[in-house]
Chain A
């Protein structure tokens, strides 16, 4: 009897709906570099707690799903706002004899599953809509990695998400000591990505991979960069945010510098771009100190003036005018600090090379300074002939500033080199 029913053509209206849904879900991916996602991946692999700041509905959860997929970690999402504080600090369970055994604090099931798996990505979503007491309990999970009596194994990585203060209904914010423990990453959607994704093609980011051979070098580089900056700028070591705008964000302290050092090492070993490193560093110690560190790292990339002077014919100068001028000024400073005939000549060779390979105005100021360093008995090298154009360029700029007496003197200095 029943068999006749099953052989009849099915007319369930939900079948067509299921087909349509399947078609809608049939999307492809394409590789597309994504700095946000690379930064998030690096911070997660460096085992630092990340806090994603982003408006609701811009794809934070989707990004986390993709991250968990690519790191091959099971994803556990906990929506903070639907939990009570005791879900994170543990629920009391009364045993036979509380006076003897005490009352154990039982963890919730998701925590038990996470610990049993030994590894996973714990995503604490919607932190900012949870009541303050729940947030306080959650922060213990993030910072001490404990849920009730359970300790999270090292294989579990934690990412939290919050809405920016301005858009959060209850205006939750981190106190400066708590903010200092997070890597803050702003999360914004890219218009093109969203449009293309809705059209059926979502981006797939290439995840940074650590190069095992480069690990010791990466650590040395990170230490040199951070220690170099902090030696020169002791004031950057610790600076509490003072104004209302900077509250709850990243700020520099020995703790966040240690996190920064770790991130620089990870970024170096993974070979990610400086743009990604910039997101991470500024999200850890704040914009100002972060940019200063990046500038220091840029300077480490510039050729060393002493090496240039040792082999001026092989000198390779940076393409960008401002960096090039920094290098040339460094060369002139090196000659000034130890003025010798050979070094002075070598510096002229470098100036001539700079002139051959880039804009001439960049050379004018360093060349005039170098000319002024000439001693009585030093003969003008032949290479200076080639710099005649620069001198005339400088003169032309001086003529433009004819009203100024000082400019006239500068021209005289440039001319004396000739």
Chain B
């Protein structure tokens, strides 16, 4: 039985902390626990790091340092919480799923941030080995592969309950000594994220992306767009007002008093579609369908939804509008100012929803109605003639939702 070579393990941690200074806080927050049950090294959700003495002995120090970084990455990226959420949402449980989550989590970590200084072990999993692309998130990988002959080589993978939330025999559990509480874990993650954001360019892209999102998980755009449109359409003052034209339903109880009653006319919504470039038909179609569905759900009538389209997008919007019973009004320039002016003049809408990639001048003043802008992600350079061209930000008066 080999004893745990603590000196080597700690020297490896020091090497990891020196070569990845932005992870130092997290590395030092980990508590080492010797365990003979762990195949290699593993973590639990309480930030303990279980190390197998035999593994520490046979692994060269630089590779051991890379394992440190690998394990702490699982914790920083909250694979435990994300994996559990994914399993719950998709109803996927069982031993095979545990392995799949571990594989997907390892793919997310191992494709970025390791080099000659911190070399991954020879057998380490990379997305390429499963013929998967680099740079995706754990959840995306989970949707892309199944267990099969090609994953057999990774059956040994086990980074512990910190990755998949399934308790292991060696776990000390929540009551065990020196665990980090939920708040302490957040505090460490926050400090690491702030450290990376404070020195842009010091960490690999994957880590910078993580730092941006660590405490602001991206919300699905469908829900954000839905919330923005719903709140614009059903907000106070949109198509509703108090009226004395009909008696309020409570008037009978108060003889002599004229109470106003609430009347509502369905809101008029005008959707401006601007697809000068770079927006796929599928994206545009799903955004447009989303808007139509929401408007109908809040009491909009088909005839009150109009779609103003640019010529370039007619082939998408035309059939879609026919199917959805929306009215397609004329063409328009790729200049959204023209689109807004035309929308206001022709439809007198309560709400304008503009679906655009943002490569356009915006109107100077707010239109006389609520505005929601669905912004498609911009791909590539905007203007071939002027590579420095930076489109204006959407104006303050619009609620902006980034799509996709």
Contact = CB atoms under 8 A, between A and B. Distances in A.
Interface of A: 84, 86, 91-94, 103, 131-133, 136, 165-166, 168-173, 243-246, 273-275, 277-278, 287-288, 291-292, 294-295, 298, 319-322, 324-325, 359-362, 364-365, 389, 392-394, 396-397, 399-401, 403-404, 407, 410
A410 B21 CA distance: 15
B236 A401 contact: no
A407 B226 contact: no
A275 B216 contact: no
Interface in B375-404: 399-402
A383 to B, nearest CB: 20
Given A165-B223, A244-B228, A400 B257 contact: no
B337 interface: no
30 contacts: A86-B250, A86-B259, A92-B257, A94-B256, A132-B234, A166-B220, A171-B231, A243-B216, A245-B219, A274-B181, A287-B215, A288-B215, A291-B215, A319-B178, A320-B28, A320-B29, A320-B31, A322-B28, A359-B6, A361-B11, A361-B13, A393-B14, A394-B11, A396-B7, A396-B11, A397-B15, A400-B61, A403-B117, A404-B117, A407-B18
Given A291-B186, A361-B10, A396-B7, A321 B29 contact: yes
B293 to A, nearest CB: 13
Interface in B148-200: 178, 180-184, 186-188, 190-191
Given A132-B236, A243-B216, A325-B28, 9 more contacts: A170-B230, A273-B183, A287-B215, A288-B190, A322-B28, A396-B11, A399-B61, A401-B117, A410-B18
A58 to B, nearest CB: 14
A228 B399 CA distance: 36
B15 A294 contact: no
B254 A298 contact: no
A294 B234 contact: no
B43 interface: no
B29 A94 contact: no
B231 A397 contact: no
Contacts of A287: 215-216
B308 interface: no
A291 B190 contact: yes
A133 B262 contact: yes
Contact of A359 (B10, B61, B230): B10
Contact of A397 (B18, B182, B219): B18
A321 B7 contact: no
Given A322-B28, A361-B17, A400-B15, A389 B7 contact: yes
A57 B228 CA distance: 25
A251 B368 CA distance: 29
A91 B28 contact: no
A191 B173 CA distance: 17
B37 interface: no
Contacts of A404: 117
Closest 5 CB pairs of A and B: A171-B230, A321-B28, A361-B10, A396-B11, A397-B15
Contact of B14 (A288, A291, A319, A361): A361
B24 to A, nearest CB: 8
Interface in B24-82: 24-32, 61-62, 65
Interface string B108-119: 000000001100
A322 B223 contact: no
Contacts of A360: 7, 10
Nearest to B255: A94
A244 B186 contact: no
B19 interface: yes
A403 B15 CA distance: 12
Contacts of B25: 322
B45 to A, nearest CB: 14
Contacts of B10: 359-361, 393
Contact of B257 (A94, A173, A244): A94
Nearest to A170: B234
B190 A295 contact: yes
B298 A397 contact: no
A91 B373 CA distance: 40
A396 B61 CA distance: 9
Nearest to B260: A86
A244 B18 contact: no
B104 to A, nearest CB: 23
In the complex, which of the residues B26, B234, B401 has the most CB atoms of chain A within 10 Å of its own CB atom?
A: B234
A288 B262 CA distance: 42
B354 interface: no
B313 interface: no
Nearest to A392: B7
Contacts of B29: 320-322
Contacts of B19: 401
B28 A362 contact: yes
A91 B215 CA distance: 46
Nearest to A84: B250
